[in-house]
Structure 1
Amino acid sequence: MDDFGHRSGVALVLGASGGLGQATTRMLLERGSNVAMTYFRSANALEQLFSSAASCGRTAGSWQLDLADADRAAEVVTEVVAEFGAIHTLVYAAGPHVPMVHLSRVTPADFRRQLVDDATGFFNATHAALPHLRDSRGNIVAITTAATARFPVRDALSSTPKAAVEALIRAIAVEEGRFGIRANCVGPGMTTVGMAERLIDTGEIDSDALDITRANIPLRTFGDAEDIAEAVCFLASDRADFISGQKLDIDGGYGA
């Protein structure tokens, strides 16, 4: 399937080094897009993606980026456009590890940090990219969470900043649609990668909690990274050219 081979420029994937970011970047490459990738600390995680780019006959580049740094975000966007000519898609796949704690135990400092790292980080990159997305009549896809539709206990520190990202996506869809820009969200439910994987690895979710979580999903299983990447690539493609301001939850029916 070649969804992006006809497009000039590049898909800029923010947070390409994470599990969901890697899967999305790989699928974009397989479907004909060149990619620009950002990472925060894990540059080594991109090595396989450069190999995937070579095997797909596509071009890839990488940039270190702390999204909380607005000046650096603008600098990276400028460098990406200088190297690739245009940005046709902006994918937000970044996000810090967030511990699962009851809201009553979240400190104001922790709450502020999550908002800055997630919601403000998304805004910093989007603010810098919007003029270029206007030029390309491009689109934005933000990976958020299914928890903004059905709240799981102890998830406020994660879902609240993601709700802000979703509100920004709707604002962009309404205000920037006249320039041809589309903006949508993909909301992962429980998956075997990403934050869910980290929670399992750190023991914040034990086997009993996993069984309960699985039982709350109508399909009685967890999703994987490719499920999320498929949704992102669909929304970024011309097959979704009349879809904007929407959120597609990939959650096995959890929010039904």
Structure 2
Amino acid sequence: MLGTAAPPLVRADAPPELIAVVSELLAKDPHARPADAATVAQRLDTLRRQAVPPEEPAAPSTVDASGAPPAFDDFARATPPPSPTAPLPHGKPILVFGPKAPSWRTGRKALLSAAAGVVALLAAAGAVLLVSQPDELADPTPPAQTATAGPAPSPTPAGRLELADPTDRGDVVELSWRSSEPMDFAVVVAAEGERAKVLFVQRNTSHRVPVDPVRRYCFRIQGTDGTHVVESEAKPIRGARCVT
């Protein structure tokens, strides 16, 4: 939940279309934001396709009209074989980290990947902590698993995420958490009588959330390492009941 309007983004290494998408995600007015995570993902996919240059067609080989091989010329200059072209990458990690300054095209793809990480967190938290009853704040229910033949593969550990008990300051709640692995985080806030809100806080491990002084709330932290999404246990304040 944004208390004030986000400052305008100024990035010379980012395309205007990407800046527009991120600005809409950070808009203070909820009606100015994209309708859902699928809409954002579609726009980012369009930008990603535009960022990949088309492959140049191979130069046509010249063949004698008669079909006969060319005459031997021992004074002809040998034509060096063309240099092999490195294949274009078929995928990028969701988030790219490192001290090396990226080029314009690399920086554009890195920003698209980071924005995709935001979309992953928003999609994972879109239905989290919805209010179901006046005295209960609902927690997400895991989807039913479809039975398949053969043993299921072992899941890859994605780290642990632990949210400390919230500190209620009346109109502000202070949250802090810790994780076993470096991650980017989102704070999921569910207020009594409202749909859950998701606040992307990057790699911070604490956040102050403005709240209504009389409403009950549930909080949850979600994190991603670029491949997996993990989440903490939900924590209530003011007697709220966070149910699954």
Same fold (TM over 0.5): no
TM value normalised by structure 1: 0.27
TM-score (norm 2): 0.28
Larger helix fraction of residues: 1
Q: Which has the higher strand share?
A: 2
Q: Which structure's relative contact order is higher, taking Cα pairs within 8 Å and 6+ residues apart?
A: 1
Mark the structure with the bigger radius of gyration: 2
